[in-house]
Chain A
Amino acid sequence: MPLSESELIKQAQKGSRTAQAEIVYQHERMVYNLALRLLGNNEDAENVLQETFLKVLESLHTFKGESSLSTWIYRIATNFALMRLRKRKTQFVSLDDYPIDVSMDFRDFNQSISNDPLQALLNYELRDVLNTAIEKLPLKFKSVFVLKDIEGLSLNEISEMLNMSLPAVKTNLHRARLFLRDQLAEYVGKK
């Protein structure tokens, strides 16, 4: 019969290698995908994957169950990924004063983007545009966008995780979305 999460954690904390392996097995995919989304390449994602689980096993005895185990692991992984992002020397765009432009009409844009995004994504040029645009986002914008719109975390969780005020999270998210939309609109307009 399967063990409950709390029993699994207890055994892992007591040093059971089988229980520790089970914890890694259950969360490996979640951590890898999070790292890949934040960092955008397999090599960095693999490094974060290894760093995260080394830390998890090292610190498991400090886990008090105040959050779920997966939330705890998720936070560790996010921190490692953000540390790597901070070290990058990429030239980012400045979005702090990104305008909310209401003069543009996006009806044409909406018609140009297929209603079937999977179909649209068969266009490799479009995939490149999307990947390039997200790589241009500075850390505070990219992390908020990925955690909210791709990972599905709540704004409050992101605020706590990134140590950022809730209004700042909202503003950064909106600017990130606008920037990405505008990059896409530029590509669509050129076609």
Chain B
Amino acid sequence: MECLTNLKQICDRLGENLNSPTCQELKAHLAECTKCCAYVDSIKKTVYLYQCLNDEQDVPDSVDKRLWKVLNLRPPDERLQFSSKLRQNRI
């Protein structure tokens, strides 16, 4: 397979399970083509850097205080919470 064809397939198959049968040919090419492999790795490294750069942050105290004031609500007392103290970070 041509490298360009492979890279277009990588684009088309973004988000698909790379273990799916349709990706076998692509995986075989990546295993033997160092250039395409480096291309994919370079993207993976870039994405990983951005993920590390965007670690979860706590809401700053001043921002938190203003939010409760705007909403005219009192933050729940830690002892009387309805549910877990763990706040959800993901949907």
Contact = CB atoms under 8 A, between A and B. Distances in A.
Nearest to A184: B46
B91 A54 contact: no
Contacts of A2: 81-84
A142 to B, nearest CB: 11
B21 interface: no
Contacts of B3: 102
Contacts of B43: 177-178, 181
Interface string A158-173: 0000000000001101
A54 B71 contact: yes
A141 interface: no
Given A3-B82, A71-B91, A177 B66 contact: no
A180 B42 CA distance: 10
B28 interface: no
B57 A32 contact: yes
Interface in B26-52: 34-36, 38-39, 41-43, 45-52
Contact of B46 (A24, A131, A181): A181
Given A8-B82, A36-B57, A30 B88 contact: yes
Nearest to B40: A106
A2 to B, nearest CB: 4
Label chain B's interface by main secondary structure.
helix
A23 to B, nearest CB: 9
Interface in A142-161: 145, 148-155
Contact of A28 (B7, B49, B59): B59
Contacts of B42: 106, 109-110, 181, 185
Given A105-B38, A131-B53, 12 more contacts: A2-B81, A20-B71, A24-B67, A29-B88, A32-B57, A42-B63, A100-B4, A113-B45, A152-B90, A170-B15, A177-B46, A184-B46
26 contacts: A3-B83, A17-B74, A18-B80, A19-B82, A20-B71, A20-B73, A22-B76, A25-B81, A28-B87, A30-B91, A32-B63, A33-B57, A50-B71, A53-B70, A53-B71, A70-B88, A70-B90, A102-B3, A107-B34, A110-B42, A117-B48, A126-B49, A127-B53, A134-B50, A149-B50, A177-B46
